[in-house]
């Protein structure tokens, strides 16, 4: 089934997800901070399934919206914009880039819970934070392939999690359900599951090994 997916942030991860999702037959509406006119070349390369929009247009394009802006930029996106949407949160916290965030440094919360808190009423699913963007294209394999890479998802809303898991499978990866957003620290930066290629069994092991 073709879905229209908004993508807010069209850099490394947003731009690569736009390629993967259009290749899988989905429509995408991509947005960045500079406005749709700056995305002409990007959408031309993506083909007929892609268009450029404002942040609000990407937010309202469909039920699923990828938020692929750096954590420091989150506050600049209106917090009521994604109410009721399934939000795919790709964020990581890099203090050198994002500035120090005391709650994260104190391990009191997770990046995805901060995203969920910011976007009131959104159904946030943490996904794609632990794969280098280019590998979304180069590591994709059809379902059932030997050694297929697994990606973790964390969500508080089971329906949102399942919808995102189905998309991840479609674009070439197995899925490990890690649990609720509060547990998503297990796949944050520098944890054992972060970055390398793991199969389902291996990734489950790495998530279990994680220490806060």
Ligand X SMILES: NC(=O)c1ccc[n+]([C@@H]2O[C@H](COP(=O)([O-])OP(=O)(O)OC[C@H]3O[C@@H](n4cnc5c(N)ncnc54)[C@H](OP(=O)(O)O)[C@@H]3O)[C@@H](O)[C@H]2O)c1
Question: What is the H or E stretch that residue 178 is in?
Answer: strand 174-179
- Quick check: 211 binds ligand X (CB under 6 A)? no
Residue 90 or 110 having the CB closest to ligand X: 90
- Quick check: 73 binds ligand X (CB under 6 A)? yes
Task: Provide the CB-side half-sphere exposure for 111 (13 A, CA).
Answer: 28
Residue 3 or 16 having the CB closest to ligand X: 16
CB within 8 Å of 107: residues ≥ 6 apart: 185, 212
Residue 2 or 165 having the CB closest to ligand X: 165
- Quick check: 68 binds ligand X (CB under 6 A)? yes
Subset of 33-62 contacting ligand X (CB under 6 A): 33-34, 55
**Selected range binding ligand X among 7-15, 20-28, 40-48, 163-171, rule: CB under 6 A:** 7-15
Residue 71 or 167 having the CB closest to ligand X: 71
Could you tell me the smallest distance in angstroms from the CB atom of residue 100 to ligand X? 15
CB within 8 Å of 47: residues ≥ 6 apart: 22
Q: In what order do the strands lie in the sheet with 4-8?
A: 50-52, 27-31, 4-8, 64-67, 86-89, 123-126, 150-155, 174-179
Q: Which two tokens mark 177?
A: 């359900």
Annotate 48-96 with DSSP letters as a single string: TTEEE--HHHHHTSSSEEEE-S-GGGGGGS-TTTTTT-EEEE-----HH
Could you tell me the smallest distance in angstroms from the CB atom of residue 7 to ligand X? 9
Residue 64 or 146 having the CB closest to ligand X: 64
Could you tell me the smallest distance in angstroms from the CB atom of residue 134 to ligand X? 7
Give contact residues for ligand X (rule: CB under 6 A): 8-14, 31-34, 55, 68-71, 73, 76-77, 90-92, 128-129, 132-133
């Amino acid at each position: 089934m073709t879905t229209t997916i908004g993508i807010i942030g069209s850099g490394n991860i947003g731009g690569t997800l736009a390629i993967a999702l259009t290749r899988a037959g989905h429509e995408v509406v991509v947005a960045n901070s500079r406005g749709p006119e700056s995305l002409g070349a990007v959408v031309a390369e993506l083909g007929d399934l892609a268009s450029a929009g404002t942040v609000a247009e990407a937010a309202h394009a469909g039920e699923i919206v990828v938020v692929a802006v750096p954590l420091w930029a989150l506050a600049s996106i209106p917090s009521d914009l994604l109410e009721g949407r399934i939000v795919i949160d790709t964020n990581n916290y890099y203090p050198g880039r994002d500035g120090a965030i005391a709650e994260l440094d104190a391990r009191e919360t997770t990046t995805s819970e901060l995203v969920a808190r910011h976007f009131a009423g959104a159904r946030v699913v943490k996904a794609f934070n632990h794969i280098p963007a280019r590998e979304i294209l180069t590591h994709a394999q059809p379902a059932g392939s030997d050694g297929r890479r697994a990606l973790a998802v964390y969500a508080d809303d089971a329906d949102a999690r399942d919808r995102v898991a189905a998309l991840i499978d479609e674009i070439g990866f197995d899925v490990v359900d890690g649990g609720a957003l509060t547990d998503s620290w297990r796949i944050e930066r520098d944890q054992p599951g972060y970055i390398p290629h793991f199969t389902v069994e291996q990734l489950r092991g790495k998530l279990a090994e994680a220490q806060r």
